[in-house]
Structure 1
Amino acid sequence: MLQSKYLTEYDMADFGFKSIGKNVRISSDARIYGQENISIGNNVRIDDFVILSAVNGSITIGNYVFIARSSHLSGALGIELKDFSSMAANTVIYSASDDYSGSYLTAQAVPQKYTNYRGGKVVLGRHVIIGSSTTIIGPCDIGEGCSVGAMTLVNKKLEPWGVYAGVPAKRLKDRNKKMLELELELLADDNSNHNGI
């Protein structure tokens, strides 16, 4: 039986990330391109078959962020995942995509001078959770505390503390903010545990 293996801090020391924090767990089956343009905070987990691509552009990952298996983040025009954000399996985030108008050629196999990209930076605010198989296309800013249901298409700004779903995403109701109290408890626990070392 095959089992997932997470890289150690020693393994990742030579990867050449722009920056990397403590307690970072990245599956050995993840694929990372343009690591010099990727910043990773503390307490981050990146699971099997995730692709982080920032050969052009950037990806910035905050603290306490989880990226589930088979998710794909393409940061050509920038992606930022703020603290406590997370995504379920098969989430796709494109900060840029080909120009589908017919005025340019498309596809990665075509030299760049014949193509054109559309899009913009994608930001997942603090405490954002993205449901399985959701597609996010920039530019878009998903406001703090948003919950996005499975198989949703997000291609615009989402206002904070909403529950969204659908194609395209529509706000269904407000989201509970109790998690902000739990965040304070977690951070207090972290601080008291580190002070004893």
Structure 2
Amino acid sequence: MENNGRSALHGTTIVAVRDAQGVAMAGDGQITLGGTMAVKHGARKVRRLFRDRVLCGFAGSTADALTLVEKFEGKLEEFGGNLTRASVELAKLWRSDRYLRRLEAMLLVADVDTLLVLSGQGDVIEPDDGVAAIGSGGGFALAAARALRRHADLPAADVVRAAMAVAAEICVYTNDHVVVETLRRGDT
């Protein structure tokens, strides 16, 4: 990923699955410089936000993604943890702000009731099936998670772990240093 002639840190996979018990989100730890060299293997790209009631995973340029996570945290605080409202307001700001508009990243956010993909084009997308993924290995992880949901009776955390393992086998920008975070109904 090039950004105005400078190399950007990138390379990741984030996947999330919602089920009747809650939500699980997983992300790998690889950061790649200039698309040719892995420079970090244990980055933490899935975080708990708003009193541990919201999960947020990010993909794209690391500095850009962290800026967006910070803005998203502010929106969560502003709207009392209302995930959908905070997401829509961030998307509006992201799309309209001259500085934020240039950021090259995506966010995957979730609480026990809602799972959303946020992009700089103003997208706030809730998947139909409770499964979503972003990042360079997102398509691989998404396909694996959907297949597992359809053909195995596994908890969401096991689905995201297995989906990340599949993505790590296929995508050169995804490694097997995986962080999994879960939110369970009734734990708040």
Larger radius of gyration: 1
Q: Could you say whether these structures have the same fold, taking a TM-score greater than 0.5 normalized by the shorter chain as the test?
A: no
What's the TM-score once normalised by structure 1's chain length?
Answer: 0.23
What's the TM-score once normalised by structure 2's chain length?
Answer: 0.24
Greater relative contact order structure (CA < 8 Å, 6+ sep): 2
